[in-house]
Structures are given as C-alpha cells and as structure tokens.
C-alpha cells in the first residue's frame, strides 16, 4: 500500500512539473492587447514603477512609466477577484499589498501581500471579506486601513493581524467604498460608504457622520486628503465632486463638471503641483489647475476611466485605465493620449475561428471591447476590426471557410452571416436561403432554376455547428443536417433519412474532407458520401449528449480517430466509431467546452475550467493552464492541421499553443517585471 501511494505521489509530481514546463514552452499570448483596468498603483520612491490590477486577480507591472507591461502574478486563486487597490511599501519596493473582492453571489475577497514585486502573493488578512478600499499610513507603512462591506478594519503589523475599528452592527458605517488617511495623523480616517461619508479623529474609537453640504444618499467612491493644505479634503460621490476646507465638516459641491460625468471613480493630486487635481469619471478624465475651482475635460467623453496615475516627476506624463480600452498615456499633461498596452493582454474572447488556408489568419469575437470582431493576418502581431454589421450580442459562433469565402457567423437569433468583401466597404450581411423539402426531393443538390426564390425561404434556423469538406458545406440545426454546394448561398436537407430531420447537435469532417460525422440526440453517425447515407454508432450511456466532434488520423497507422466531446467528458474511438472509451489518464470526466486537434496533439477545454493537452493522441493528458494561466477557455481553433492550435480565454485574450515563441511576445507562465534581477 505504501509503495502504491508513493508511486501515485511520484506520478502526480511528474505531471505537475511537466504541466509547468508545458505552460512555459507552449502557450504564448497573441492579443489583442488592452482590456479593462480596475486599479493603478505606484511605487512612491520610484513613480515610474506602476502596477495594474484587473477583475480576475491579475497584477501587471511596468518599470518604464507604463510604456510596457508584464503579467506578474495573481492575488489568490480565484478568477473573479477584483483588485481594488495596489500599494507599495516605501521602505521596500518589493513589498506590495493588494485589496480584492469577488464577483460571486457570496461576498468574498481579502488583503494580499507580495514580497517579490508582485510575482507571488499570500493572504494577509480579512479572508472572505469584500475589501473595496485600502490605504497605507504615509509615516507608518505597517499601518493599513481597509474598508469592507462589513465595516472598517486596521492592521498595525502589515497584515499580520486586523482589528475592527468601526462599530459592530452599525446600520450606516458599513458598505465602505473608499478610505483615506490624513498624511499628518493616521488616526484621522475618512470612510466613504454607499450612503455618505464618516470620520474618526481618534483611530476609530469614535466616529461621526460628515455630510453637511452633501446631497443625501450619495455613494462616496473616492476620498482625497490634500498633502499640503491642512483640512482640505476632496470626495467624489454619485451626486458630484465635493471639497471641504475644514476636514469634512462642511462640503461644497465643485462646479464645472457636468452631471453626466459625476460618477467619479478616483480623485488624484499631482505630487509636485498640489493645486493640480485629476478626476477619473465615467465620462472622461477631468483636470483642475486650481484645486477644484475650475475644471476641463481632457479626453473623449465616451471613455469610462477607472484609475489614473502620474508616473513622472515633472507631471507631464499621465496614465489612465479605461474600461474596454486598457491603458492610455499622455506626455503633455493630458492634452493628447495614445494607447499604451504593450504586454497587457486582458481581452475576453467569446469565440475564435481560423482560416484553414492560412494559419496566421484568425478571427475573434470579443466581449466588453470597442470592436466586437477583430482579425489578424500575422498570427497576432496586429489586429484590425472586422465589420460593421454585427455586434457581439448577435454572435453564437464563428467559422472560417476556405478562401475566398472567408468568415461566417452563426447568429444568436438564427441564421448565418457572411463577411462580404465584394463592395468598397466590407461588412457582415445575413446570408443563405433554405430550399423547400419538396423542391429538393429526389435530388441531393438543390436544382438551379429561375424560380429559386419562390421555392426557398431565408435561412433562419439556429446553427449548432458548421463544417467544410471542399465544395460541400454542412450546418447542424435543430431541424436536421443541411448541405450547401454553392458556398452557402442555398441550403437543403443532406438526406431524406433521419439525419435530414432529427435535431443535430454538431458536425465534423475528417482531415481530408471525408468521412462526415454528425451527432443527433445520444447517437453519432458517419457518412462516406457527403451525407446521402449514414452508418449509426452508439456511445456509452454514461457519455451523455455529444457537444462537439473532431476527426484525425492515427500518426502510426493512418487509421481514423474520432473525438466526441460530451456532457460527461471526452470519448475517443480508434476504429471508426464502433467502440468508444473515455479519454486517457489526466483529463477529468466533466462537461467539455471545446476540443481541437493538430496532428498527434489534442487540446481540450473543460467547462469547469482548465485547458488540457495530450501529445499521444488522447491516451494521457496534462493540465496546460497552471499558475497565472488559469480560468475558462471558451474557444479553440485548429487552422487546418498546421501544427498549431489557438485558444481564446475568458480574461487574457488569445493564445497560440505551439513549440516556439512568437517574436515579440513574452512567454505566458514565465513573467518578468518589477523586482526582477
């Protein structure tokens, strides 16, 4: 028994080590760059060292004032951890603190500490608390104050222990959204709640509400205590920006910023020129040269700015973190801005397709991005929008056909759209017509007649899958498998048999265009004559519904290998579908999201999270996504067996899975950055 346990433990260690090695060797981010920025932090002793927090716990760093970014680490292990603040200990540039909250129904989060410049993180208290704000005492860096949904907490030993300093069960002093400490006296603490601000002058022993002059029911999202003017405090609320010159006892609303921009997420003071104040609002970045008396907007009003940083001693450089757009930089005090996202890969990929004729030509569908659809013709070096005509809400899936037909999209509302290059302005157009069954009866190919329009209707069926076998194109629908032999212009039932009528979940073809495979209900069928006749096969009962089919050849024998992704994992047949076995060691028997095949390499994405790889045609598997590369991968694409597979992630953009690193892209899983020797 002990020997067996030791052998099992050794195998686990080998697989874990191999997984880490594979992550470094195989997965390379290819973009697009940019994404949502939730917070920005700076090293107070070296303002050019900037840190960026995301909504999935990732921390990026820059040594050059935001010109280039590198993924450093993740705060905790959760993929829904929102990083609300990043603080740097002025005594030690490698010592960082981060506050987080999680986006699930049960409030969670905590404070995390890093001793190596953000590469690794450990819990530093308030576990399970949604920490919305964190502040460090300027004269005593071991003292931090945190605001949570439960109240206000303080540590005097750098997170070793925390004490609650707000009253237990107080109906108002809870749901903290912002925290600020007086730079001259850390016992003077300001707390902004979802409903007005509070203050303590004795380190939390007593608190009092400070809302005189502020409109009632104001969510106080940011508080700034002036470092040079005693008693001057700024507060941003949903009702506007306020300034107090007597420590918050009386507030006066700042004029000059329109009502639409009054959701100010952060207020920042220029360290060298304290009269200059910036306001990061949901409608652009605003600047005041006179401590809030007058304001001007510096950016486009459609920029929703979450954070701002000033990483330059001469106050000329301004960084902003913008929803959907990533990081933008100005070197003229905010007069002009340009993207600065090199190394910052944080896009949400919903779907991905590859050109079967060109492995460097890809299409991706993005959520929460200025452009829903983007393509690259150089393997991710550059990305350009593909449109107009579709939004991300319109798209169910995307596909790549052989040139010159190009990109296709299955629509959420039913039907297909093609990317039309024929006009002066390429655009997406709804395409295809369905031939009536009566017209198609007795003829496998829809006849070409002058009465075509009267015998057909617009293609409005919901598409579950699409496959291309030379001039024969197939779509799986809930009303059967359809075929087109005119590049998607018209579609007809592939057969008069059951496959032409039953709901079809997915369709796939072999590496040479034959045979054709399709799944209906719990069974799977094979056709060697483009769908005219079928041979039916039954998967094991425990497999459940088939969600995806892929087909390849055995590297040694040339025999057909069929992969069926099901509700309960991946099943493989090595004898043309007659016998099936659950996949080999290492792959969990959980719902499969996507599979892709390139020669003898198989990649599987699981709905429960994680990306797995097999180099022996599915006999054994290793978790590819470890360390920083975690989470959900909704899409995989194989560009026609070109020895590479592309993966689209739910948070970090697209990855190329191959054995060599693309030039210019840093290796995922091997981060370098601030603090690196």
| Partners of residue 146 on adjacent β-strands | 134, 153
The per-residue pLDDT for 73 is 94
Banded model confidence at residue 315, pLDDT cuts 50, 70, 90: low
Banded model confidence at residue 17, pLDDT cuts 50, 70, 90: very low
Q: Say which residue, 463 or 237, is predicted with more confidence.
A: 463
Q: Does a structural domain hold residue 125?
A: yes
Q: Does a structural domain hold residue 225?
A: yes
Question: Residue 316 pLDDT more than 90?
Answer: no
Looking up residue 135, the CATH number of its domain turns out to be 2.130.10.10
Question: Residue 663 pLDDT more than 60?
Answer: no
The per-residue pLDDT for 610 is 86
Q: Does a structural domain hold residue 482?
A: no
Q: Say which residue, 450 or 154, is predicted with more confidence.
A: 154
177-191 pLDDT per residue, tens:
999 999 999 999 999
The per-residue pLDDT for 313 is 64
CA-CA-CA-CA torsion sign (380, 383, 387, 392): positive
Question: Residue 335 pLDDT more than 60?
Answer: yes
218-228 pLDDT per residue, tens:
789 999 999 99
| Partners of residue 27 on adjacent β-strands | 657
Q: Does a structural domain hold residue 312?
A: yes
The per-residue pLDDT for 261 is 64
Structural domains in the chain (count) = 1
HSE, CB side, 13 Å, CA atoms: give it for residue 253: 15
Among 216-225, 322-331, 621-630, name the one with the lowest average pLDDT: 621-630
- Give the domain extent around 122: 36-345
Tokens of 329: 């930089």
Task: Note whether 596 and 636 are within 8 A (CB).
Answer: yes
Q: For all residues of the chain together, what is the average pLDDT?
A: 86
Q: Say which residue, 313 or 177, is predicted with more confidence.
A: 177
The per-residue pLDDT for 608 is 82
Task: Note whether 300 and 336 are within 8 A (CB).
Answer: no
Q: Does a structural domain hold residue 515?
A: no
Question: Residue 524 pLDDT more than 50?
Answer: yes
Q: CA–CA separation, 384 vs 68, rounded Å?
A: 21
Question: Residue 451 pLDDT more than 60?
Answer: no
The per-residue pLDDT for 58 is 94
Q: Could you say which DSSP state residue 454 is in?
A: G
Question: Residue 609 pLDDT more than 90?
Answer: no
The per-residue pLDDT for 106 is 67
Question: Residue 231 pLDDT more than 70?
Answer: yes
What is the average pLDDT across 557-582? Answer: 90
pTM: 0.86
Q: 93-97, 419-423, 635-639, 661-665 — which one is most confidently predicted on average?
A: 93-97
Q: Does a structural domain hold residue 357?
A: no
Q: Does a structural domain hold residue 192?
A: yes
The per-residue pLDDT for 443 is 39
Q: What is the 3-state secondary structure (H, E, C) of 494-507?
A: CCCCHHHCCCCCEE
Among 79-93, 131-145, 228-242, name the one with the lowest average pLDDT: 228-242
2-16 pLDDT per residue, tens:
444 444 333 333 344
The per-residue pLDDT for 105 is 58
Q: Over pLDDT 90: what percentage of the chain? A: 63
């Amino acid at each position: 028994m002990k020997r067996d346990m030791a052998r099992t433990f050794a195998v686990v260690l080998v697989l874990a080590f191999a997984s880490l090695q594979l992550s470094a060797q195989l997965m390379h981010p290819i973009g697009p760059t940019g994404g949502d920025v939730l917070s920005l932090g700076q090293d107070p002793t070296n303002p050019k060292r900037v840190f960026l927090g995301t909504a999935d716990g990732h921390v990026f760093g820059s040594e050059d004032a935001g010109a280039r970014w590198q993924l450093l680490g993740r705060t905790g292990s959760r993929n829904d951890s929102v990083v609300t603040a990043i603080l740097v200990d002025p005594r030690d540039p490698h010592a960082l603190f981060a506050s987080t909250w999680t986006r699930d129904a049960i409030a969670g989060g905590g404070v995390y500490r890093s001793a190596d410049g953000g590469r690794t993180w450990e819990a530093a208290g308030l576990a399970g608390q949604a920490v919305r704000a964190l502040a460090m005492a300027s004269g005593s860096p071991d003292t931090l104050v945190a605001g949570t949904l439960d109240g206000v907490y303080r540590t005097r030993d750098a997170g070793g222990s925390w004490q609650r300093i707000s009253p237990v069960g107080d109906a108002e002093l809870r749901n903290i959204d912002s925290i600020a400490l007086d730079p001259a006296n850390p016992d003077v603490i300001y707390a902004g709640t979802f409903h007005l601000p509070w203050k303590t002058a004795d380190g939390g022993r007593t608190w009092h509400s400070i809302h005189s002059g502020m409109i009632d029911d104001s969510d106080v999202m940011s508080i700034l205590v002036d470092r040079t003017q005693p008693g001057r405090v700024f507060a941003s609320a949903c009702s506007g920006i306020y300034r107090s010159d007597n420590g918050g006892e009386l507030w006066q609303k700042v004029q000059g910023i329109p009502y639409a921009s009054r959701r100010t997420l952060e207020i920042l003071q220029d360290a060298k020129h304290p009269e200059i104040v910036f306001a990061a609002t949901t409608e652009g970045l605003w600047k005041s040269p006179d401590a809030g008396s007058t304001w001007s907007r510096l950016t486009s009003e459609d920029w929703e700015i979450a954070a701002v940083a000033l990483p330059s001693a001469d106050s000329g450089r301004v960084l902003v973190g913008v929803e959907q757009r990533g990081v933008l930089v100005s070197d003229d005090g905010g007069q002009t801005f340009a993207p600065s996202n090199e190394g910052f890969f944080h896009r949400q990929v919903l779907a991905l397709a590859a050109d079967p004729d060109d492995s460097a030509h890809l299409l991706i569908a993005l959520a929460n991005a200025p452009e829903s659809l983007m393509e690259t013709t150089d393997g991710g070096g550059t990305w350009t929008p593909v449109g107009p005509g579709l939004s991300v809400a319109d798209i169910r899936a995307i596909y790549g056909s052989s040139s010159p037909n190009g990109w296709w999209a299955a629509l959420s509302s039913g039907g297909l759209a093609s990317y039309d290059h024929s006009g002066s302005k390429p655009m997406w157009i709804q395409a295809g017509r369905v031939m009536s069954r009566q017209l198609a009866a007795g003829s496998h190919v829809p006849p070409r007649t002058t009465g075509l329009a009267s015998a057909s209707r617009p293609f409005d069926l919901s598409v579950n899958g699409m496959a291309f076998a030379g001039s024969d194109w197939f779509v799986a629908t809930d009303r059967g498998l359809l075929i087109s032999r005119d590049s998607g212009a018209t579609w007809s039932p592939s057969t008069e048999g059951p496959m032409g009528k039953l709901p079809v979940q997915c369709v796939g073809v072999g590496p040479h265009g034959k045979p054709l495979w399709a799944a209906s209900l719990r069974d799977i069928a094979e056709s060697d004559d483009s769908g005219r006749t079928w041979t039916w096969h039954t998967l094991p009962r425990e497999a459940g519904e088939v969600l995806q089919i892929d087909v390849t050849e055995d590297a040694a024998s040339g025999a057909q290998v069929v992969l069926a992704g099901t509700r309960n994992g991946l099943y493989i047949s090595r004898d043309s579908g007659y016998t099936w076995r659950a996949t080999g060691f290492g792959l969990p028997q959980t719902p499969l999201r996507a599979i892709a095949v390139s020669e003898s390499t198989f990649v599987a994405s699981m709905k429960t999270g994680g990306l797995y790889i097999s180099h022996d045609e599915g006999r054994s598997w290793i978790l590819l996504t470890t360390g920083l590369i975690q989470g959900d991968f909704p899409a995989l694409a194989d560009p026609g067996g070109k020895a590479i597979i592309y993966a689209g992630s739910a948070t970090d953009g697209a990855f190329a899975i191959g054995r060599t690193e693309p030039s210019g892209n840093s290796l995922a899983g091997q981060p370098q950055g601030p603090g690196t020797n």
